[in-house]
Amino acid sequence: MAPIKKHFDYLVIGGGSGGLASARRAAGMYKAKVGIIESGRLGGTCVNVGCVPKKVCWNAATMAETMAEAKGYGFDVEVKSFDWPKFKAKRDAYITRLNGIYSRNLNNDAVTYIPGRAKFISKNEIEVDEQTPEGEKLGSKAVYSADNILIATGGYPVTPTNIPGAEYGITSDGFFDLETQPKKAVLVGAGYIGVELAGIFQALGTETHLMIRQDTFLRSFDPMVQEVMTKHYEEGMGMKIHKRSKQTKIEKDPATGLLSIHYEDANGPGVLEGVDMLLWAIGRKPEVGDLGLASTGVAQDERGYIVADEYQNTSTPGIYSLGDVSGKIELTPVAIAAGRRLADRLFGGIANAKLDYTNVPSVVFAHPEIGVCGLTEPEAREKYGDENIKVYKTQFTAMYYALLEHKGPTAYKIVCAGENEKVVGLHTIGSAASEMLQGFGVAMKMGATKADFDSCVAIHPTSAEELVTLK
């Protein structure tokens, strides 16, 4: 074994959002000696192949929708084309700038950046297969030790292993590598990633097919969200949704490169031919395969996620875990907040610092947007009992659509519990749902009741005013 190259107070494995936030807090605020190991581009999934470039794509798709709707407001608008290669180049350049900013921020906070692939060789020692920041392997290994080690390696998208030809498809990672816009796209998966990317393709003019296993998508969301959004994607946007579907075989034409998707759905067996992009959005797994956890005693659950308690402690003292690799709430701001709380506890003397994982607001950048916080109605009824739950909801056409033939849905639901009607669930669909939710999330963290919502004077004319006037 190589000699110890350097010893740290805190060594972070994973340069994604959670790892970066924890490392910078520990070093920048508390002056701990910190190193961070990353084998990919700094920023992790969110910055490189997730939230950030996805939102840029969503912005483009929303612009396409707005330009199409402008005619209803009297504008003589003709959109000749969408230049996907030009858009991709600008988007990629933006992400590259962000990578550079992350690198400079680490340097500003005196965090040692170690490019390479990490592997545990003991409970407090990490061997790194060294590389350049650009990913070129150097053919050398180095060993680092630390008093505290954080595992924040994130996750990766999976593809089916039991469908012949599945390898012809891509995942959400591959979406951002597409050099040209697909003419005919098939996406498989009912989660938010599939729904978001399908919405982008459809809005930009791609013939889009979404294959789901049940009758609705976003099945972990409130029934209102599932029903309203599935109907709108199918009827309002014109997307082709294959319900109760499964794929049986994928074939590729060697001459054209086009795919044929053999499937079965609620209407029986079928084949989609001439498909130039198949995207699997069927789930993610924790990035732990070559981490060497066997040498640490760190416990994993049946799906491979690292088990961590409310303070991010693993089963091995001195080793911590957070973010997607722990499988709690797989959202970037959650990982960031957990990482900062952990640094506060380990190096800031705040013994009880931990993240509260309740009432975490989250958004799906669908068309239109979805914003949720707290419990779904079924979850609330199970937790508090039917007799203790009261639900307020509304669905209407927003004023924006008054001059348009095309109508998009707006729907809100407030789930209340107990005699004082504490708001335990908030579910919104409609334009700007993402922006309005942050403030309501604060109110829910403070324990707001229906009476508190009602006491707030409405802002008129807005859609959001409906949330403080529900009867």
Catalytically active residues, by annotation: 460
Taking a C-beta distance cutoff of 8 angstroms, is the pair 35, 8 a contact? Answer: yes
Extract the tokens encoding 219: 């099945």
Taking a C-beta distance cutoff of 8 angstroms, is the pair 52, 98 a contact? Answer: yes
Beta bridge partners of 221: none
Ordered alpha helix ranges (H), 329-432: 332-347, 377-384
Residue 16 makes CB contacts below 8 A (sequence gap 6+) with 38, 43, 44, 45, 46, 47, 152, 153, 154, 323, 335
Q: Which helix (H) or strand (E) holds 433?
A: helix 433-445
CA distance 94 to 56: 10
Beta bridge partners of 117: 129
- The backbone torsions φ and ψ at residue 65, rounded to the nearest 5 degrees and listed phi first, read -65, -40
Extract the tokens encoding 386: 């039917």
CA distance 69 to 404: 7
Taking a C-beta distance cutoff of 8 angstroms, is the pair 99, 47 a contact? Answer: yes
Burial per residue of 250-266, b for 16 or more beta-carbon CB atoms within 10 angstroms, e otherwise: bbeeeeeeebbbbbebe
Residue with token string 């009432």: 359
Extract the tokens encoding 303: 């799906």
CA distance 263 to 6: 55
CA distance 92 to 72: 34
Taking a C-beta distance cutoff of 8 angstroms, is the pair 53, 196 a contact? Answer: no
> Could you write out the DSSP letters of every residue in 93-120?
HHHHHHHHHHHHHHHHTTPEEEEEEEEE
Extract the tokens encoding 203: 């809005």
Closest by CA to 118, choosing from 43, 36, 26, is 36
CA distance 138 to 163: 37
Closest by CA to 128, choosing from 13, 45, 8, 299, is 13
Ordered alpha helix ranges (H), 269-400: 332-347, 377-384
CB atoms within 10 A of CB 109: 17
